[in-house]
Amino acid sequence: MLSRDLLRERPDEVRSRLEDRGVDLMLVERWARLDGERREALVEVEGLKRTRNEASKKIGEIKREGGDAHDAIAEVGELKGRIEILETRLGALDEELRWVELRLPNLADDEVPLGADEESNRVEREVGEPPAFDFEPRAHWDLGAELGILDFERSAKLAGSRFALYRGAGARLERALASFMLDLHTEEHGYTEWIPPYIANEESLTTSNQLPKFADDHFHLDDSGYWLIPTAEVPLTNIHRGEILDEAELPLRYTAFTPCFRAEAGSHGRDVRGLIRNHQFHKVELVQLTTPAASAAALEEMVRHAGRVLELLEVPYRVVTLSRGDMGFGAARTCDLEVWLPSQETYREISSCSNCRDFQARRGAIRYRATEGGRPRLVHTLNGSGLAVGRTFVAVLENHQQSDGTVLIPERLRPYMGGRERLSSLS
């Protein structure tokens, strides 16, 4: 959420930078009008309260002198009524202002490329070479079916489209990937592992900017006020909601492996086959809480941590800075990691790492107290996939497939697979 001081004191800059993100500027104009009304009402209320206090003192003086305070009492009554009307109006204006504020996205950092969509994204670097096959590479859904480790027909019977059923070595590979990622992030990258609830309340999704704008993209548990989490970013970011941390505690690095649930309401029929875009999938999430001075460097660190997973799995990828029009709602800057998929002969997103600066912290009142004292300040929050497990499963299958239909298991992953070196049709 953007600060009211920023919206009030630098309106032209806010309009320009929100326009770069494709925002309807009528929302900004509406906020300015409501804020003007609120400030006028607030000035009037404060003036009336001063007048009421003076009138109340006058009543006391009249009574002490034995006079008739009837008219003064009537005046105080009228003032009280007017104050109550204005305070009700102020409450309504605050609600309307918050309604608008919750629908305004974050401002992009200056170095974020201009552009309306992914066509304006900037490739920062490529890591690893796409494999050169002497045969036609197979898509992961065909490989999975032939190896007997994925069954999409039965998963459709169980739950419908956009779900997956892992079998045997496929189930173990999914579990192995998650364990490998968690061990890497906790033992080598300094993250603390959590197992959070997989259901969240409305306040948690609002803090992490999934609500109210993206309600249709998530699964709501009817009449309960609860939602299935779309990512572990939601609970991890909210652990310290409403708290004041000590600066010495920062940065906080948190990770969690959870199922994720997404309605995919805006997917418009994309990636209907396979594991790329499902209603339920697993992900290892990374979240950091930092001081403002450290958050830019923390984003680069998080990108390295996510990329290290792919490097150890011997899978080629690239790092891309998203344009202003392609970034997520709460991000000030986002770097995607895109993994090479041989069957599609292109790179596909496998991790999205974002610096939200104080946008989420303002929604959730997540603050820290500087060592030199002073008023508490808002932390900066960052989040990223480290990685999406199903998409990593896809990348391993497709990049390490062999001409005989088997799939080599990356060496770093073999201890998690009981020493197994390859997947075969006997899986």
Task: Look at residues 16, 22, 14, 207 and name the one whose alpha carbon lies nearest to residue 5.
Answer: 14
Q: What amino acid occupies position 194?
A: W
Catalytic residue among 277, 369, 377, 422: 277
Asked about 427 being catalytic, the answer comes back as no
pLDDT at position 359, please?
Answer: 98
pTM beyond 0.85, yes or no? yes
Alpha-carbon dihedral angle through residues 176, 182, 188, 192, given to the nearest 10 degrees: -160
Catalytic residue among 17, 21, 38, 391: 391
- Check if the beta carbon of residue 208 is closer than 8 Å to that of residue 238: yes
Give residue-wise pLDDT tens across range 91-115: 999 999 999 999 999 999 999 999 9
pLDDT at position 66, please?
Answer: 80
27-43 mean pLDDT: 97
Between residues 45 and 373, the one the model is more confident about: 45
302 pLDDT more than 90: yes
| Structural element, H or E, at residue 59 | helix 26-64
Sign of CA dihedral 415, 416, 417, 423: negative
Catalytic residue among 4, 122, 349, 420: 349
pLDDT at position 155, please?
Answer: 97
User: pLDDT category, 411, cuts 50, 70, 90?
Assistant: very high
374-399 mean pLDDT: 97
Task: Look at residues 98, 93, 94, 101 and name the one whose alpha carbon lies nearest to residue 2.
Answer: 101
Catalytic residue among 172, 262, 333, 363: 262
- Give the whole-angstrom CA distance, residue 200 versus residue 255: 17
pLDDT at position 266, please?
Answer: 62
- Check if the beta carbon of residue 116 is closer than 8 Å to that of residue 303: no
Alpha-carbon dihedral angle through residues 186, 189, 195, 200, given to the nearest 10 degrees: 180
- Give the whole-angstrom CA distance, residue 387 versus residue 403: 28
Q: Quickly list DSSP for 408-427.
A: EPPGGGGGGGTT--EE-TT-
88 pLDDT more than 70: yes
Q: What percentage of the chain's residues is helix, strand, coil (to nearest 5)?
A: 45, 20, 35
Asked about 391 being catalytic, the answer comes back as yes
- Give the whole-angstrom CA distance, residue 380 versus residue 294: 9
348-364 mean pLDDT: 98
| Structural element, H or E, at residue 290 | strand 280-290
pLDDT at position 267, please?
Answer: 64
Q: Which has the minimum average pLDDT: 65-69, 83-87, 185-189, 344-348?
A: 65-69
Between residues 267 and 296, the one the model is more confident about: 296
pLDDT at position 71, please?
Answer: 76
118-138 mean pLDDT: 97
Between residues 59 and 331, the one the model is more confident about: 331
Q: What angle do CA 195, 361, 37 make, to 5 degrees?
A: 140
- HEC-encoded secondary structure of 107-169: CCCCCCCCCCCHHHCEEEEEECCCCCCCCCCCCHHHHHHHHCCECHHHHHHHHCCCCCCECCH
Residue appearing with tokens 């603390």: 192
| Structural element, H or E, at residue 220 | strand 220-221
CA 151 → CA 145, 397, 404, distances in Å? 6, 15, 21
User: pLDDT category, 223, cuts 50, 70, 90?
Assistant: confident
- Check if the beta carbon of residue 357 is closer than 8 Å to that of residue 152: no
Give residue-wise pLDDT tens across range 317-337: 999 999 999 999 999 999 999
427 pLDDT more than 60: no
Helix, strand or coil for residue 79?
helix
Asked about 277 being catalytic, the answer comes back as yes
Backbone φ and ψ for 401, nearest 5 degrees, come out as: -70, 150
Give residue-wise pLDDT tens across range 243-278: 999 999 999 999 999 999 999 866 666 777 899 999
Helix, strand or coil for residue 228?
strand
Q: What amino acid occupies position 180?
A: F
Between residues 57 and 324, the one the model is more confident about: 324
- Give the whole-angstrom CA distance, residue 31 versus residue 10: 13
pLDDT at position 74, please?
Answer: 84
Task: Look at residues 283, 289, 399 and name the one whose alpha carbon lies nearest to residue 341.
Answer: 399
Between residues 52 and 93, the one the model is more confident about: 93
Catalytic residue among 351, 352, 385, 427: 352
Output b/e per residue, 68-86; b: 16+ Cβ within 10 A. ebeebbebbeebeeebeeb
- Give the whole-angstrom CA distance, residue 349 versus residue 119: 14
